[in-house]
Structure 1
Amino acid sequence: MAGIKVSTVVEAPAERVWELLGDFHDLGGWHPGLPASSLGNELTGNAIGSVRVFEIDGAALYETLLAYDEEARSYTYSFPEGTFELYGYRATLRVTPVTALDASFVEWSATYDVESEHRKATADRLHGVFTAGLAALRERFAG
């Protein structure tokens, strides 16, 4: 099992950051590299099992919400098996207060299986997506 974790500190209270990040269907609203998503099934909002669909380079990317915890400010989602040569993909986006700074610690992590010949390219691709999103988030809330 491979994995990646990317994190940053955002200069805003966790409640404000979570107001933006906490909508599973609005990732494309704040991530500069992703378009707006559409609904992939009848479940809306942050209902477990809800599917968001991104149209990227003429292909549809389906992501399913597996867990949502409003109190812990986190959610976990997956891709269908084989998407980007990934198996068992599970990603979590989490916002934690940094109380001494009235700021937020934001972590985006994923675990997955991938064949060895795709390991580096996959890690690089995920790192790029996660890093770009967190950098945009940090800029959005910057002083």
Structure 2
Amino acid sequence: MATTTVSLEIPATADRVWQLIGGFGSLPDWLPFIPGSELSEGGRIRSLKSEDGGDIVERLEAFDNKARTYSYSIVEAPFPITGYLSTLSVHEVPGGQTARVEWTGTFTPVGVTEDEVVSLFHGIYTDGLAALRQTLAD
């Protein structure tokens, strides 16, 4: 099983960051490479469209609004992995005007090396958090 984690400090309060990213269907609000998200099954399944038209289906596994964190698994996606579980968390940095956002994932590669899938998801998380920072700066 492979793991990768990316964290980034963002010059905004943890509450402001969570308000933007805490909704399971909110990816299109801050992640430019996911322009579409549709919720089903009472908000526990999200069907995503990637910018290249690909379909990704994810299931909400855990949600804690007070702790500002949620975890999700991939049900269907064009990625060479199985057993994907990811967590997105927002933490308040002392002083209250900065938040640390952490995106972590665990998965098992299928037909590719562990380094290849770690690189893939590390890149997605890094680009995603950079886009989040930019969205909040605008």
The 5-angstrom pairing of residues 48-127 of structure 1 reads 50-56=44-50, 57-80=52-75, 84-100=79-95, 102-115=97-110, 117-127=112-122
Cross-structure match for 1:31:
31
The verdict on how the C-alpha distance between 1:38 and 1:18 changes in structure 2, with shifts beyond 3 A counting, is same
Query: Which range moved further: 132-141 or 64-73?
Result: 132-141
Q: CA RMSD in A?
A: 2.0
Aligned partner of residue 112 in structure 1, secondary structure: strand
- Quote the residue 1:140 is aligned against: 135
Give how far 1:114 is off. 1.2
Equivalent residues, number: 137
Q: What is the identity, as a one-letter code, of the residue corresponding to 1:32?
A: P
SS at match of 1:80: strand
Q: Tell me, yes or no, if the aligned pair for 1:35 and 1:55 is still in contact at 8 Å.
A: yes
Question: Which shifted more, 133-142 or 61-70?
Answer: 133-142
Cα–Cα, structure 1 residues 142 and 78, in superposed 2: closer, same or farther, change >3 Å? same
| Offset, 1:19 | 0.3
Unmatched runs of 5 consecutive residues or more in structure 2: none
Deviates most, 93-102 or 50-59: 50-59
The CA deviation at 1:80 is 2.1
**Structure 1 partner of 2:13:** 13
Q: Once the two structures are aligned, what percentage of the paired residues are identical?
A: 39
SS across alignment from 1:16? helix
TM-score, normalised on structure 2?
Answer: 0.89
The answer for unaligned runs of 5 or more in structure 1 is 45-49
Distance in 2 between the 1:132 and 1:82 partners? 19
Determine which structure has the larger helix proportion and give its number: 1
CA contact (8 A) 2:14 2:99 kept: yes
Residue 47 of structure 1 aligns with which residue?
none
Larger mean Cα displacement after TM superposition, 1-10 or 111-120: 111-120
> Which residue type is aligned with residue 24 of structure 1?
F
Q: Please say if residues 56 and 76 of structure 2, whose CA atoms lie closer than 8 Å, have aligned partners that are also in contact.
A: no
